Amino acid sequence: MEFTKEEEKALNGEMGETLQTAYRILLATGEATNAESLIPIKWAHLSGVNYNTIGDSGEEFLRNISKDAKVKVKTTVNPMGFDVDHISEFDHIDNDFVEKQKSIRDSYIRMGVEPTFSCTPYDIFDLPQKDTQVSFAESNAAIFANSLGGLKTNKESAFSALASAITGKSPYSDLRKDGFEIPTTIRMKLENPNELDFGLLGFFAGKVADTSVNISGVSQPNRRSCKSLCGGMGTSGTCAKFQFVDEENNSSEKIDFGKEEMQKIHDELNTSDNGDLITLGSPQLGLEEISDLSNMLKGKSFQKRCMIFCSRAVQNQARHLDYTNEIERAGGEILSDCCTCLTPLIDTNEVDSVITNSVKGAYYLKNSTGVDVNLKPLSKIVQEETN
Amino acid sequence: MTKVIVQGKARGLVLKTNNPINFLGAVDKQTGTIHDKKHDIFEKSIKDSVLVFPHGVGSSVGAYTIYSLKENGTAPVAMICQKADLTVASGCALANIPMIIVSSDEFESIENGKELEVDTESSNVLN
């Protein structure tokens, strides 16, 4: 790793403790990605906003660093633990949680971030021009940016993206360069895959691929399936980019994803045949998905509680376009600023098992929230869980 | 070939796994215990160990978990991986936990339970 004189000074602490910390992180992540230097980035997206995940140490760290740290580039942030507008409806969440979460929110705002509280920044903003360098920590957003958004990012960590936001720089790793070879091709063998199949494919690909992967046998999945693929892939491994390829006439290693492989991942994540609660939106739903859902729910009502997560920006647009009426009439609760993953809104004293179509959601519901999961595609959820 | 990701010196007993670790999903930051039932070091504590694992996976917020482990006094004293990932690298950088990358052969040769010193300033690094 070669630092400029200016960067070297910052690393040695001559420009204050905050920048020293930021450059120490960039040095480690630069070594980790075999980068030779740092390059400027235009947009950072931070994870590490939910008190449930970063805890007291995280809250304290952010409170301290936000005393003098300011973001240098456009910076958006991930979901937090709850929707401020609805928190009073969730009795099981104590005041301490609410206060700590608000402190975290305020620390980020003090640093100058845009308070998006969304894991889907690509659904909120127009993407910058092709090949723009960004630093996205949220894994589904990083994979989306690299694979479908034409942007370039590492699969950043919470700290490497924060360091990028504060310095406006990131290691110039292979993922940020053109023309690197993708060593593995996953051959998608499932016919007429739904969004859950794409999520399982992503989870499988994330496990077997290194930092990038080709996927063959797939033709133009819809946005719901694309987001599901990105979410699944980000959960299981280190893979930061996929590309759909038509032909298999390249020299990469070929791995099949057929019924058997799908079932194995499904069985790993699906631990129940039913559930007490439905959650939709991990990643948070975009406007198109909200519109779809509103059409699917015409004349139907959920028989169980159903939490629907989307960003505040998308919710506002959806309200403006009247997409939310049908969903709320059907009993869906639309929640913003938070997401299925690691939200404390799910009261584990009341809920043993959650129904979702999200592979990413399933992993964290199981491993972090500690509930069982019934995985099924949205069409089946609407068919089986409404009347 | 050994590559230093985060400098430092530490000594401890090796806790080795051949499975990647999702710090956010699999580690209890209060106790340092692995609570992912599917993991082969389930119920083992990573506290004060020289943690040897192929690489980190999953959520980018795992970096905060590593930082919290350190703040809570439940962190490994050093980490040795086969492949670097940004979550572990940046978490160790902020928490000042020495971290190195070793070749597959070296990784294979590290024995579980053995006392090991990581010293990134020494010519051997591993002693």
Residue B57 lies in a domain: yes
Q: Which of B3, B56, B63 sits opposite A159 (nearest CB)?
A: B63
pLDDT tens digits, B40-94? 999 999 999 999 999 998 889 999 999 999 999 999 999 999 998 999 999 999 9
Contacts of A54 in chain B (CB under 8 A): 61, 64, 68
Taking the mean position of all CA atoms in its chain, how far away is CA A201?
16
DSSP per-residue codes, B14-34:
EEE-SS-B-HHHHEETTTTEE
Measured torsion, CA atoms of residues A9, A15, A21, A25, in degrees rounded to the nearest 10: -40
C-alpha separations of A22 from A71, A86, A227, A268, A363 in Å: 11, 35, 31, 38, 31
Phi, psi of A78 (to 5 degrees): -70, 170
Q: Which domain holds residue B41?
A: 3-119
Q: Do A236 and B57 touch (CB under 8 A)?
A: yes
Residue bearing the bigger pLDDT, B35 or A152: A152
Q: Nearest CA to A229 among A299, A140, A356?
A: A140
d(CA A24, CA A160): 10
Q: What is the pLDDT of residue A250?
A: 77
Which residues partner with A170 through β-bridges?
A: A39
Q: What residues of B are in contact with residue A367 (Cβ under 8 Å)?
A: 22, 25-26, 35-36
For B94, the closest of A21, A367, A368 (CB atoms) is A21
Report, as an integer, the average pLDDT of A149-174: 97
pLDDT attached to residue A328 = 98
**Is the residue at B42 inside a domain?**
yes
| pLDDT tops 90 at residue A120 | yes
Using the CB atoms, write b or e for B75-102: b if 16+ within 10 Å: bbbbbbbbbbbbbbbbbbbbbebbbbbb
pLDDT of residue B127: 85
Look at residue B29 and tell me whether its pLDDT is greater than 80.
yes
Whether the per-residue pLDDT at A248 is higher than 80: the answer is no
- Classify residue B124: in a domain, yes or no: no
Residue A248 vs residue B108, higher pLDDT: B108
Confidence band (pLDDT; 50, 70, 90) for A121?
A: very high
Q: Could you tell me if residue B125 is inside a domain?
A: no
- Provide the domain count of chain B: 1
Asked whether the beta carbons of residue A58 and residue B67 sit closer than 8 angstroms, the reply is yes
Q: Is residue B39 domain-resident?
A: yes
CATH classification of the domain holding B9? 3.50.30.10
Identify whether B126 is part of a domain.
no
Nearest partner of A170 among A296, A280, A300, A33, judged by Cα: A33
CB A190 within 8 Å of CB A220: no
User: How many CB pairs below 8 Å do chains A and B form together?
Assistant: 132
